[in-house]
């Protein structure tokens, strides 16, 4: 393929995406801090978070989150054989993505009010009207997300990870800026500015920025509607479009069923999930996304042994980092939530209500990591049916459980079922993988996870005791006591965990060493 910019090694790619994930999570937390300060938990915030249900489902229906997975293997082989034909195939995918996203967005905007009643059945009629208004503002963002996903897949294929890494930063920055500034310059109320920021951020960060870089590297787009590879592309993508797995719908279930629990439940579940997804995003997303093009390349070259070694390395690294991080965050959930969200209209009562929800959602963090890495192993083999089919079955099983058990149990029941469903789904995928491909990708994984867990447990206990003491006994304002708790609890955790892990789980140190030792040399496909 001609016109490629500098390509990154897998370690470089993972580092770039990890830094991006850290900054993106921080900006996301800043965004949620501003929202919680202004609107607290309930009312306007509930409707804002619920407004994403339909747009996200449109994204799932067109496999927007999996575009790089479905298109990279086909594009890789096509560029290797005939570059001109590869551009025709890419243009065909882009044109159909644009057409499909535009039609579904138009339908969603037209039917916003009945869709609002369907996706938030627990809201009042006045809230449904406001929710429909928010949905109509947010829905056009899906056109930019989906078309941008095509361009991002092309950049991943070129191993240009820097620009996709910037996209979430621009996106979150636009939401914050529009939410704060638009009410000053225009007659808008409530969270309308934040909704507008979603669409503007999607246009700038996930579409225009990748488009500019792709065009600079030689982008050839034409209006093409037929190509021989579209059949294979649809066969790969169709299971992802039709298979509504518990992973994809997890956040939507929190919003839909949370609306049946009572005012504020949607917001509290959303805030708790934001915190719980921080270690998952930091430890899993970067490694999983960065490893996928390399896994595809290894299988294409017939290097099955190195493929399973790469998969095992990604799993080991992710678990070695996420388990201690999740344990420390669970132990320090009270001061973490106090620092990040408490203030303004989000008071101490809301903080205490979110603490158990956060801990429940942090429990399945290791399963999220295993899923994020392992599912890309399935996709590298060209198997999108197995993850989609098993995930859909788990979804169908969980739906009545959500309605008949989790909703009566309240927000805690919904949070607990969320974690249980993700864990069950992941374990099922692990069993299928071992049955088909053997245990080599999981060699030593269970032992490593247990060692890291028990090494982190004393530090987590110390952090919990310190957090409880500081927030209950110190004669300081809540934010000051929380900062002291985080600092002292973090030091206690590190002082206990690091020596134990060095003695009983030395691979944790090896993982950190690999993270910082990044070779600047380029790797060619």
Last residue of a domain, one of 191, 220, 242: 242
Please list, in sequence order, all residues whose beta carbon lies within 8 angstroms of the beta carbon of residue 292, skipping any fewer than 6 positions away. Answer: 68, 69, 72, 156, 376, 379, 380
Q: Specify if 524 maps to a domain.
A: no
The Cβ of residue 455 has, within 10 Å, a number of other Cβ atoms equal to 23
pLDDT digits (tens, 9 = 90+) for 16-37: 556 666 677 777 778 888 888 8
Last residue of a domain, one of 242, 267, 288: 242
Q: Using an 8 Å Cβ cutoff, are 241 and 63 in contact? A: yes
Are 165 and 103 members of one domain? yes
What is the pLDDT at residue 119? 87
Please say if the pLDDT value at position 71 is more than 60. Answer: yes
Are 405 and 305 members of one domain? yes
Name the nearest CA neighbour of 328 among 522, 524, 463, 178: 463
* Nearest-angstrom CA–CA distance, 202 and 139: 11
Are 498 and 472 members of one domain? yes
Residue with tokens 């890291």: 452
> Average pLDDT of the chain?
84
Are 260 and 368 members of one domain? yes
Are 226 and 258 members of one domain? no
Please say if the pLDDT value at position 155 is more than 90. Answer: no
What is the pLDDT at residue 14? 55
Please say if the pLDDT value at position 270 is more than 80. Answer: yes
For residue 368, give both structure tokens. 């999220």
Q: Using an 8 Å Cβ cutoff, are 411 and 357 in contact? A: yes
Provide Rg for the chain, Cα atoms.
Answer: 23
Counting the structural domains of the chain, the total is 2
pLDDT digits (tens, 9 = 90+) for 302-336: 788 888 888 888 888 888 889 999 999 999 999 99
Q: Specify if 522 maps to a domain.
A: no
Interval 203-209 mean pLDDT? 91
Q: Specify if 360 maps to a domain.
A: yes
Are 226 and 278 members of one domain? no
- Looking at residue 403, the DSSP 8-state letter turns out to be I
* Nearest-angstrom CA–CA distance, 215 and 151: 10
Interval 434-460 mean pLDDT? 92
Highest mean pLDDT among 60-64, 234-238, 479-483: 479-483
Name the nearest CA neighbour of 429 among 400, 382, 389, 380: 389
What is the pLDDT at residue 525? 34
Q: Specify if 506 maps to a domain.
A: yes
* Nearest-angstrom CA–CA distance, 465 and 453: 18
Question: Which residue has better confidence, 525 or 383?
Answer: 383
Range of the domain at 344: 248-515
Are 357 and 214 members of one domain? no
pLDDT band at 442 (very low <50, low <70, confident <90, very high): very high
For residue 422, give both structure tokens. 């993700």
Last residue of a domain, one of 181, 208, 242: 242
Are 40 and 57 members of one domain? yes
Please say if the pLDDT value at position 296 is more than 70. Answer: yes
What is the pLDDT at residue 362? 95
* Nearest-angstrom CA–CA distance, 144 and 139: 10
What is the pLDDT at residue 366? 93
* Nearest-angstrom CA–CA distance, 91 and 226: 10
Q: Specify if 520 maps to a domain.
A: no
What is the pLDDT at residue 418? 94
Q: What percent of the chain has pLDDT over 90?
A: 37
* Nearest-angstrom CA–CA distance, 398 and 246: 8
Are 305 and 178 members of one domain? no
**Residues in the chain, total:** 525
Q: Specify if 52 maps to a domain.
A: yes
The Cβ of residue 352 has, within 10 Å, a number of other Cβ atoms equal to 14
Please say if the pLDDT value at position 164 is more than 70. Answer: yes
Please list, in sequence order, all residues whose beta carbon lies within 8 angstroms of the beta carbon of residue 516, skipping any fewer than 6 positions away. Answer: none
For residue 388, give both structure tokens. 């989609």
pTM metric for this prediction: 0.78
* Nearest-angstrom CA–CA distance, 445 and 326: 17
pLDDT band at 514 (very low <50, low <70, confident <90, very high): low
What is the maximum alpha-carbon separation in the chain? 71
* Nearest-angstrom CA–CA distance, 210 and 402: 39
Name the nearest CA neighbour of 97 among 126, 65, 138, 136: 65
Q: Specify if 525 maps to a domain.
A: no
């Amino acid at each position: 393929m001609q016109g490629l910019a500098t390509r990154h090694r897998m370690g470089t790619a993972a580092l770039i995406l990890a830094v991006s994930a850290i900054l993106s999570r921080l900006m996301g937390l800043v965004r949620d801090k501003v929202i919680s300060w202004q609107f607290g938990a309930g009312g306007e915030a509930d409707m804002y978070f619920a407004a994403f249900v339909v747009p996200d489902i449109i994204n799932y229906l067109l496999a927007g989150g999996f575009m790089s997975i479905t298109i990279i293997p086909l594009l890789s082989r096509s560029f290797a054989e005939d570059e001109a034909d590869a551009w025709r195939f890419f243009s065909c995918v882009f044109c159909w993505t644009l057409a499909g996203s535009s039609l579904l967005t138009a339908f969603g905007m037209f039917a916003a009010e009945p869709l609002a009643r369907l996706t938030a059945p627990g809201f009042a009629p006045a809230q449904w009207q406001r929710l429909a208004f928010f949905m109509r503002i947010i829905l056009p963002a899906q056109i930019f997300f989906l078309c941008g996903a095509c361009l991002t897949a092309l950049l991943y294929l070129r191993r240009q990870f820097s620009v996709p890494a910037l996209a979430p930063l621009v996106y979150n920055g636009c939401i914050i800026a529009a939410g704060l500034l638009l009410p000053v310059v225009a007659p808008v109320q409530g969270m309308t500015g934040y909704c507008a920021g979603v669409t503007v951020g999607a246009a700038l960060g996930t579409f225009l920025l990748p488009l500019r870089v792709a065009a600079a590297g030689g982008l050839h787009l034409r209006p093409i509607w037929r190509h021989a590879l579209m059949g294979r592309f649809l066969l790969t993508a169709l299971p992802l479009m039709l298979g509504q797995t518990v992973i994809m719908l997890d956040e939507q279930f929190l919003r839909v069923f949370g609306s049946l629990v009572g005012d504020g439940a949607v917001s509290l579940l959303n805030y708790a999930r934001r915190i719980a997804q921080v270690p998952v995003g930091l430890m899993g997303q970067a490694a999983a996304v960065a490893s996928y093009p390399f896994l595809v390349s290894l299988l294409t070259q017939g290097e099955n042994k190195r493929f399973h070694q790469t998969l095992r390395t990604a799993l080991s690294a992710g678990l070695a980092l996420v388990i201690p991080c999740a344990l420390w965050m669970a132990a320090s959930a009270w001061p973490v939530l106090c620092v990040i969200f408490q203030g303004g209209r989000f008071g101490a009562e809301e903080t205490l209500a979110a603490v158990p929800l956060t801990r429940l959602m942090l429990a399945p963090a290791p399963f999220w990591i295993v899923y994020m890495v392992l599912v890309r192993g399935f996709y590298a083999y060209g198997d999108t049916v197995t993850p989609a089919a098993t995930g859909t079955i788990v979804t169908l099983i969980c739906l009545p459980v959500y309605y008949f058990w989790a909703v009566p149990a309240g927000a805690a029941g919904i949070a607990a079922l969320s974690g249980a469903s993700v864990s069950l789904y992941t374990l099922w995928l692990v069993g299928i993988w071992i049955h088909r491909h053997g245990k080599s990708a999981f060699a030593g994984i269970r032992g490593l996870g247990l060692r890291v867990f028990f090494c982190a447990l004393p530090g987590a206990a110390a952090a919990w005791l310190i957090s409880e003491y500081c927030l209950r006994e110190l004669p300081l304002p809540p934010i000051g006591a929380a900062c002291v708790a985080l600092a002292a609890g973090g030091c206690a955790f590190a002082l206990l965990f690091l020596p134990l892990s060095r003695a009983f789980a030395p691979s944790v140190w090896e993982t950190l060493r690999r993270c910082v030792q990044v070779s600047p040399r380029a790797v060619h496909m």
